[in-house]
Structures are given as structure tokens and as C-alpha cells.
């Protein structure tokens, strides 16, 4: 009786302890296979996108190179346009001049830079008292800046440190001169038609029509009417 109990227990225990191999669901095999194919597809797609990106690198590089060339061309056009505008203005509209001497002090100081209008005498005539940029009659390659004192047809007498116009007994009123003129020997001038008589405001230190070999400035040698000083201190000039 004891032997039967002894063998009965282990038989049951053996049966219980040995794990049974669980059956594999066929659906899981299919899932694994599909997953494998999906991964492969993703890899193929990834490879395709990488190929596309690689294919786009060359156009992007060419586009980048074309970008800086386009920028250089745009700057070149701006510079050329600015130069053309400056040339046009300086040739036909304004005259830019630096005054190197003190002959016009204190109206214009040595080293001042002034702007003149080239159009002023295209549409009108010079007036007495205008400050003018003109070609120096003794050397037309040089530009001078002086004040108009005598107009076409005027007679001018300089005596006792004063200027007399057209036989007047009263001297000209000249509030702009730096100091009274030092008296000299009397001078007499008759301004020809289409010409002008010029003097500096700093009379005692001015080389002007009183000293020139070719005394008068012809109308067609007038370059511009001075309007204002732009350096060193911007201001209107009268």
C-alpha cells in the first residue's frame, strides 16, 4: 500500500512540474512577417528620400552661388546709377567749389565749400551783388569766385577807397566788404556789353578785375550763382 502512494505522488508531480510548450498562434507569425516587410518598406522609403535630398543638393548649391552674383549685380547697378545722377547734377544743375583764398572774406572764408546753381543764368541775368563762380578770364581752366559789381554798360570809378557807379557822386553801399579799401590812384572802367566787372569782398587782399589783364568776364563764362556754403558750417550766402 505504501509503494502505491509513493509512486502515485511523483507521477502527479512530474505531470504538474513539466511545463507544456504553448502552441504558437499563427497570427503572430503573420504579424512578425508583416512587421518585417513594413520595416523593409520604411527603409526603402527612407533611402528614396535620402536620394531625393542628395539630388537636391546640387541645385541648392547652384542657387546659393547665383544668389551672391545677383547681389553683386544689384550693388553694381546702384553704384552706376548713383554715379550717373551725380554726374548729371554736377554737369547741368549745380556747381561744387572750394574757395582756396581769403579774397571773399568775411562772406566766404578760406577753405569753405560752396554750392552754386548752374540754372540761375540759364533762365535769368546776373544782378549786381550776386556772388558768382566763373572762368578766370586770364586762364579759363581756373575757376574764380567773386561778387558782381558792374553790369553790361556800366561805368565804374574807384577813388578814395570807394566805388562809384555811372557817374554818381555817392559811393556804392557795400555792407559786405571786410574793411574799407586802402586808397589808391583813381581807376575808371567801362563795362562792355555782355560782360561783367567782378571784385572780392576782402578788397585789400583780392586779386580781381582791378588787377587782371583781361578785365571783364564774358556772359558765357559765368558758371553758377553761389547759393550757400555746405562746409564747414552750412549757411546761405548773400
Check if 213 is active-site: no
Strand partners, 231: 113
Asked if 217 contacts 195 with a C-beta cutoff of 8 angstroms, the reply is yes
Q: Which residue in 97, 117, 146, 195 is the catalytic one?
A: 146
Q: Which residue in 103, 117, 195, 206 is the catalytic one?
A: 103
Check if 69 is active-site: no
Measured CA to CA, the distance from residue 79 to residue 89 in angstroms comes to 15
Residue 232, φ and ψ in degrees, nearest 5: -85, -20
How many CB atoms are located within 10 Å of the residue 107 CB?
Answer: 20
**Peptide bond preceding 106: is omega within 30 degrees of 0, i.e. cis?**
yes
Alpha carbon separation from 2 to 6, 8, 10, 12, 68 (Å, rounded) = 6, 10, 13, 16, 103
Q: Could you list the active site residues?
A: 103, 146
Amino acid at each position: 500500500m505504501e509503494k502505491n502512494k509513493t509512486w502515485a505522488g511523483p507521477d502527479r508531480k512530474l505531470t504538474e512540474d513539466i511545463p507544456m510548450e504553448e502552441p504558437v498562434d499563427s497570427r503572430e507569425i503573420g504579424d512578425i512577417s508583416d512587421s518585417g516587410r513594413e520595416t523593409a518598406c520604411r527603409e526603402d522609403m527612407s533611402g528614396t528620400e535620402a536620394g531625393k535630398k542628395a539630388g537636391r543638393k546640387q541645385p541648392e548649391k547652384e542657387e546659393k552661388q547665383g544668389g551672391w552674383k545677383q547681389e553683386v549685380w544689384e550693388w553694381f547697378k546702384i553704384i552706376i546709377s548713383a554715379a550717373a545722377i551725380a554726374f548729371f547734377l554736377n554737369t547741368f544743375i549745380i556747381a561744387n567749389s572750394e574757395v582756396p583764398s581769403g579774397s571773399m572774406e568775411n562772406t566766404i572764408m578760406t577753405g569753405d565749400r560752396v554750392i552754386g546753381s548752374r540754372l540761375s543764368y540759364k533762365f535769368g541775368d546776373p544782378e549786381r551783388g550776386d556772388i558768382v563762380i566763373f572762368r578766370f578770364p586770364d586762364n579759363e581752366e581756373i575757376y574764380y569766385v567773386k561778387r558782381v559789381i558792374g553790369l553790361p554798360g556800366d561805368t565804374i570809378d574807384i577813388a578814395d577807397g570807394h566805388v562809384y557807379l555811372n557817374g554818381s557822386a555817392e559811393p556804392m553801399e557795400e555792407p559786405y566788404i571786410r574793411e574799407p579799401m586802402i586808397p589808391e590812384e583813381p581807376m575808371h572802367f567801362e563795362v562792355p556789353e555782355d560782360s561783367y566787372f567782378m571784385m572780392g569782398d576782402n578788397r585789400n587782399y583780392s586779386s580781381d578785375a582791378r588787377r587782371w589783364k583781361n578785365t571783364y568776364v564774358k556772359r558765357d563764362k559765368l558758371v553758377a550763382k553761389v547759393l550757400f556754403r555746405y562746409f564747414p558750417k552750412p549757411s546761405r550766402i548773400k
